[in-house]
Amino acid sequence: MSRRLLAQLTLCGFLPLATFNLAMSQTGIENLLPRNSLEIVIVVDNSYSMGKWQLNMASQLHPLLAYIGKSDWHITFITTDTKDLSSPRISAASSNYDTSFEQNVLQNKVGDAYERGLKKTQMLLDDMLDEKLCKPSSGNCEASKMAIIYITDEDEYTDSQTTAASLIKLLEFYQYRIGKDVRAYGFVAHTDVNCPPFASASDVIIDFIEQTQGKWYGVCQDDYTNSTLEISRDLKKMLAL
C-alpha cells in the first residue's frame, strides 16, 4: 500500500489509530500531510449596531496575515443572519484581495437583530461536509487547519438551537471526516474587558471559543491590531510554520 493511500485512509477513519501510529514511525508519513493549509471563516454580525466594529475589522487583513502570509490561506465570510446564504471567499491567489476583504467585512447593517453566528457556522460546516465528504478517491482528505473569527456585540440568539456543546460535536465529526483542526477566536461583547453594557454578553460564543482553545477580545476596542496580531501568532503555532 502506498504511503499516500495510507495517509488518506487514516485521515478518513478507515484505519485504526494504532495502525496510523505504526505507519508514522515506519514510513515517515507525517511528511505527507499538508500542514500549512489554512481555512479562515470570518463571521460578521451585520445588525444595525455593528458599524463601528465592522470598520475596526475591515483594516485587519495585513495584521491577520502577518505571521501566516506564507501559508495556503483562504478566507470565507458569513454573517450572523440566517436568511443571508452568501459566503464569498478570497485567497492569496485572488485579485485585489485587500479590497475584497474590506468589502466583505463591511456588510450592510440591515441584518436580523437576532444574531445567530453559531447557527451560521453550523450551516457552513454542513455545506462543507456535503461538498468535501472525505473519500479515498477524492483527493480532498486534508490535514489542514481552520480558524473561525467572530465579530459581534451580542450573544447567540436563544432560539437558534445551536449551543457551544452541539457545535463542538459537529466540529469533532468534521475533523474526523475531513481532517481539519479547528480553533475559534472572537471580538465579542463582554463587560470584563472595559466594554459598555451590552444587551447580551457573548457568553455562549465565548464558551465555544474557549472549548476550541481559542482566544477572545472585547469588540469595543478602538483598534483591533494588537489582538489580530496575537491571533496571527497563535495560528502560526497551530500551523507549525
Count how many domains the chain has: 2
Element (H, E) at 239: helix 225-239
The pTM for the full model equals: 0.77
User: Residue 40 is part of a domain; what is its CATH number?
Assistant: 3.40.50.410
Q: Which residue range is the domain that position 127 belongs to?
A: 34-239
Q: What is the mean pLDDT of residues 89-110?
A: 88
150 and 173 fall within a common domain: yes
User: What pLDDT score was predicted for residue 101?
Assistant: 96
152 and 81 fall within a common domain: yes
178 and 189 fall within a common domain: yes
| Residue 174: CB atoms within 10 Å | 20
27 and 45 fall within a common domain: no
27 and 113 fall within a common domain: no
Alpha helices, DSSP H, located in 3-96:
3-11, 17-27, 51-58, 61-65
16 and 62 fall within a common domain: no
Q: What is the mean pLDDT of residues 76-84?
A: 89
Q: Is 90 exceeded by the pLDDT of residue 42?
A: yes
124 and 218 fall within a common domain: yes
pLDDT digit string, tens, across residues 193-230: 566 666 567 888 888 888 888 999 999 888 999 999 99
Interaxial angle between packed helices 3-11 and 17-27, expressed in degrees from 0 to 180 and rounded to the nearest 10: 150
1 and 63 fall within a common domain: no
Can you tell me the distance from the alpha carbon of 190 to that of 140, in angstroms, rounded to the nearest whole number?
39
Q: What is the rounded average pLDDT for all residues in the chain?
A: 76
Using CB atoms within 10 A of its CB, is residue 42 exposed (0-12), middle (13-18) or buried (19+)? buried
51 and 157 fall within a common domain: yes
User: What pLDDT score was predicted for residue 25?
Assistant: 44
71 and 175 fall within a common domain: yes
92 and 120 fall within a common domain: yes
76 and 94 fall within a common domain: yes
Q: Is 80 exceeded by the pLDDT of residue 142?
A: no
Most confident of the following: 42-51, 164-173, 196-205? 42-51
Residue 241's pLDDT band, with cuts at 50, 70 and 90, is: low
| CB contact at 8 A, 209 and 184 | yes
High-pLDDT (> 70) share of the chain, %: 65
